[in-house]
Structure 1
Amino acid sequence: MLPWSAELAGRLEEHVVSSELLRGNPLKDPHERPILVYTPPGYDDEPERRYPSVYVITGFTGHAGIWRNRMPYRQPFPETADAVFARGEAPPAIVVFVDAWTAHGGSQFLDSPGTGRYHSYICDEIVPWVDARYRTLDAPAHRAISGKSSGGYGAMVTPMLRPDLFGALATHAGDALFEYCYLTEFPKCVRHLRKYGGDIMRWWDAFNGRVAFTEPEDMELLNILGMAVCYSAREDGTPELPFDPVTGVIRQDVWERWLAWDPVRMVPAHADAMRSQRAIWIDGGTRDEWYLDVGAEAFRAALRDAGVADDVVRFELFDAGHGGIDYRYPMALAWLAQRIAP
């Protein structure tokens, strides 16, 4: 395995999209965002041919630049995706790597007064931008979305909210069944916040005043704050925690706002959208530290209860934790490309 970049059979192009929907966002994050677009081998040889598309979104703290990161003895996803098409393992497709990073680590790919209009940005700006510049098949039957962790969460909820755009999805260890993946973190955060007088914004100020992730509480507090600005921000954009930061007592009204965004709980209200999907890939590691294998099971059961046909869904649990599962991405990509091909 070469320790530097490999030559692609297809082509990866980098652009910058200027988003009017993200302009003036609450966190003052850039409204100009990078986007990577991969075109498969042979794209230039048949100028009349149109292609299905797969949108790839990142996990929490992720951004477009991570797709160029190279782990020891592993290739980054653009290269393993390219190999899928170069080897003829799936019909060719355009792959779009979307940036939805925020100062608090991520957007959960939702519209929120705490972060900005990231769901609308993807659906109403990025998709039309790609369709206008690349030879895509502009129909939900030929458009999929895929992601891991928070990206897996976005891949579950985006087709629920916009089945007119997305007709297939792949979720790798996506955030689901919130009482297991989030609730168990609350008492840890209460302990951490004793150092900051129970004020998570005091921690945030300290975090921004030193080298990031040099204190043991940083990742857990960043995650809870990042989720709060997405799921339970007040209208003025300030986050509201779903628990009392001193006593740990659940604030039931705020926690219910979080639960309303749980993909498992969302399925019944969006059953028609889920039944319209051509392909749904669900997987997770059986040692996932946030019990997202349990969330995957619950999401699969909710789809079955909603009447989603078994032959639409591919469900698999495998021996792994939450990290290091990037080898699953090209497997799902090949399966999705087969299912959304014309």
Structure 2
Amino acid sequence: MRNLLLILTLLLASGKLRAQPTVPAGRVVVTYLDSKLLAHNPGGENPRRRVSVYLPPGYDAAPQRRYPVLYYLHGYAWSDSLVFNQDGLPALLDQAIAAGKIRPLIVVTPDEKTLFGGSMYTNSATNGPWADFTAQELVRFIDGQFRTLARPGSRGLAGHSMGGNGTLRLALLYPGTWAAAYALSPAFVGPSPEYMTNPSGLRTALRAPGRAALAGNFPGQMTVALARAFSPDPKTTPFGAALPGSLGPDSLTRRDAVLPRWEAATPTYLLPARAAGLRQLRALAFDWGAQDEFRHIPATCRTFSTLLTTFGIRHSAEEYQGTHGSGVMGPNGRMYQQLLPFFNQHLDFKP
């Protein structure tokens, strides 16, 4: 017993068992938005959308104070709940605020996981107007429910993967809504055969008689999700979308009438007509892992950066050592080390 007490005393003296200082904790509110825009969509998507909201430490104690808002868009097959619980975003925000990485702010993540995995944050004749929902209806809802600084200069937009695509898309399509935008590992930024004509996903989707047949098949579900977003056709069975290929007796044939619709939906092809609006942002940034498992991401991000430079749009584009998600969350990840300080610099925090 004497030896044990001695060891404990030495450990405490060295700091190894010393209690770690606690940081003030924010509060998470889970609310629901009954969307008028998404109501009655032909694709059967639920218009009642869950929204997870992080309120910073001190929000309840200072009822007169208002805060900027960061809208964070989740990735394909993910959700707001997984961002807040599995990814640990609230604890990371607590640490960042305590460390001075960013001043106190509200962070909002809407649930845009659809029947086939994701809305792609785009308006669709089948799924409904998800871009309008995110950039307009959701913003009005949050400004009405919480103590926000309800102006463009105090709004930021960010997201990962599909959410990174949504970040670039909404920044392009809704100028004057956000002060700054940051996309993490953005997917589908430009055309690529990896997702547009992926044989595995396309064959599976073409052979499936309905949604149940795609259960557990990631490539097939993603192909249908992309088609419902980028080439919707509510009257086409079984998925309400035109797929970018057809099956012959022995081969897969690409459909030239559909592929241009997918190409036209990418931020790369939206940019030339929307460059003036994008210049209204105070700052634009995106980054990606050099070892991303989705090989189209590094290539299309580089091309998009070149196009932005061609149009004279100031931005930051950085490739780092990491995979699709390995360098995003956690104290050493891009969210903590890069994204939050970026918004600390470019958002208005004062009334």
TM-score with structure 1 length normalisation?
A: 0.85
- Contact 1:180 1:290 (8 Å CA) reproduced: no
Q: Determine the structure 2 residue equivalent to 1:137.
A: 149
Pick the aligned partner of 1:319 from 313, 318, 321: 321
Deviation at 1:248, TM superposition (A): 2.6
- List per-residue Cα deviations over 1:106-130 (Å, max 9, x = no partner): 1101110121121121122210011
Question: Which residues of 2 match residues 143-162 of structure 1 at below 5 A?
Answer: 143-162=155-174
Change (3 A) 1:219 1:172: same
Change (3 A) 1:131 1:336: same
- Contact 1:173 1:284 (8 Å CA) reproduced: yes
Change (3 A) 1:278 1:181: farther
Q: Determine the structure 2 residue equivalent to 1:3.
A: none
Return the alpha-carbon distance in structure 2 between the equivalents of residues 108 and 283 of structure 1: 19
- Contact 1:23 1:31 (8 Å CA) reproduced: yes
Pick the aligned partner of 1:336 from 315, 319, 343: 343
Question: Which residues of 2 match residues 1-342 of structure 1 at below 5 A?
Answer: 9-70=25-86, 76-175=88-187, 176-179=189-192, 181-183=194-196, 185-190=197-202, 192-193=203-204, 199-202=206-209, 204-207=211-214, 212-213=215-216, 218-236=217-235, 238-246=240-248, 247-291=251-295, 292-309=297-314, 313-327=315-329, 328-330=334-336, 331-342=338-349
- List per-residue Cα deviations over 1:121-168 (Å, max 9, x = no partner): 112221001111222222222211111111100000001111121231
AA aligned opposite 2:95:
A
Which residues of structure 2 form unaligned runs of 5+? 1-21
Aligned residues: 316
Return the alpha-carbon distance in structure 1 between the equivalents of residues 46 and 219 of structure 2: 25
Return the alpha-carbon distance in structure 1 between the equivalents of residues 23 and 209 of structure 2: 47
- Contact 2:25 2:91 (8 Å CA) reproduced: no
Indicate the SS of the match to 1:35.
strand
Runs of 4+ with >6 A deviation: none
Return the alpha-carbon distance in structure 2 between the equivalents of residues 27 and 337 of structure 1: 39
Superposed CA RMSD: 2.1
- Contact 2:37 2:133 (8 Å CA) reproduced: yes
Change (3 A) 1:255 1:34: same
- Contact 2:287 2:319 (8 Å CA) reproduced: yes
Deviation at 1:7, TM superposition (A): 7.9
Return the alpha-carbon distance in structure 2 between the equivalents of residues 98 and 219 of structure 1: 22
Return the alpha-carbon distance in structure 2 between the equivalents of residues 180 and 144 of structure 1: 32
- Contact 2:43 2:234 (8 Å CA) reproduced: no
Return the alpha-carbon distance in structure 2 between the equivalents of residues 29 and 8 of structure 1: 38
Which residues of structure 1 form unaligned runs of 5+? 1-5
- List per-residue Cα deviations over 1:149-208 (Å, max 9, x = no partner): 11100000001111121231111111212225424x522335x44xxxx8344263323x
Report which of the two structures shows the higher radius of gyration computed on alpha carbons: 2
Point out the more displaced range, 44-53 or 218-227. Answer: 44-53
Return the alpha-carbon distance in structure 2 between the equivalents of residues 200 and 157 of structure 1: 31
- List per-residue Cα deviations over 1:284-342 (Å, max 9, x = no partner): 01111222122221221221112112xxx232111122233332223312312321134
AA aligned opposite 1:226:
A
- Contact 2:75 2:160 (8 Å CA) reproduced: yes
TM-score with structure 2 length normalisation?
A: 0.83
